[in-house]
Amino acid sequence: MVTVYITTYNRREFLERAIASVLNQTYSPIEIIVADDGSKDGSQEYLATLHKGGILKAVLNKSGKSRGACYGRNRAIELAQGEFITGLDDDDYFEPWRIDTFVSKWFEFTRSKKQFSALFDSVVEYRKSGKVACYDTEIVSYERLRKGNLVGNQIFARASDFRAIEGFDEEMPALQDWDTWLRMSKYKGNILNINSRSYIQIQDHDSDRITGKPGKKIRFAFARLMNKLEPLTFSEESKLLSVMYGGYPQVDSKAFELVKVLLGGHIKVVARVIKKALFKLKHST
């Protein structure tokens, strides 16, 4: 059995599509666990009906206070009965062959005596600018993950290994996936790509994503992640700072950090930050 967890909050239309994509998988048996973080848009009632019908397990937060996606994921991991676990964001969906390919590749790689901790798949992103394929790296090691998330937002791994690394860090306001893949790869080895482009990530909508989170939360997440990775080499620190500044323009810049980014050779990132600062200065006067 494979368990698929989905966390959701006030996105019933997207959620229905996500659940349908899991139900339409060519593989079985699959267990679906959906953790709702207190939706007010009818999602909880919808999930309760599916739960009652035996279609999925619903974990409903009715406390009136958000507990975050990582809390929901960890509850799903605790409840999971599958030998393997993977996840799905509520505004994304699976191609029908995803789970089947994961299981087939897992046993293929095991028979060929490859050493690995988990699998992932290349992603097709639908952005406002068009369709883009990404996360195509074949083999992602712990050392490579220390400089950037080359895996994306989901992996396929044994339930026992998710529990062994204690799931997701509920104190991380962002970068939770990256942090978890780091701990998984450190615990048990490389994360391998199945290269089937079975995960469809929808970004051309206005709902919240990490790229829109406040700069202070992004900075806190990077500080927490970097603290976990200590001791960092200068190259690693420079690269991580370049990822922060390059991917999250809402983060306020600090001169000493930009110097480290520049000395690390990430000139384009520094140029973009300076360009943004000059533009802001020009339009504020």
Q: Tens digits of per-residue pLDDT, 269-278?
A: 999 999 888 8
Chain segment 32-66, per-residue pLDDT in tens: 999 999 999 999 999 999 999 999 999 999 998 99
> Does this model's pTM top 0.85?
yes
Q: Is 226 inside any structural domain? A: no
* 8 and 148 part of one domain: yes
Provide the pairing of β-strand 2-8 with 30-36: parallel
Q: Are 263 and 255 in contact (CB under 8 A)?
A: no
* 146 and 238 part of one domain: no
* 242 and 153 part of one domain: no
In sequence order, what DSSP letters do the residues of 158-169 get, joined into one string? EHHHHHHTTS--
Using a 10 angstrom Cβ sphere, with 0-12 exposed, 13-18 middle and 19 or more buried, the burial of residue 247 is middle
Q: Is 208 inside any structural domain? A: no
Q: Which residue range forms the structural domain that includes residue 238?
A: 231-284
Q: Count the domains in the chain.
A: 2
Provide the pairing of β-strand 2-8 with 84-89: parallel
- For the chain, the residue count is 285
* 105 and 180 part of one domain: yes
Cα–Cα nearest to 204, from 124, 259, 144, 271: 124
Q: Residue 182 is part of a domain; what is its CATH number?
A: 3.90.550.10
* 80 and 191 part of one domain: yes
* 236 and 194 part of one domain: no
* 197 and 58 part of one domain: yes
Cα–Cα nearest to 99, from 32, 11, 15, 17: 32
Chain segment 208-243, per-residue pLDDT in tens: 544 568 999 999 999 999 999 999 999 999 999 999
Residue 93: both structure tokens together: 């969906």
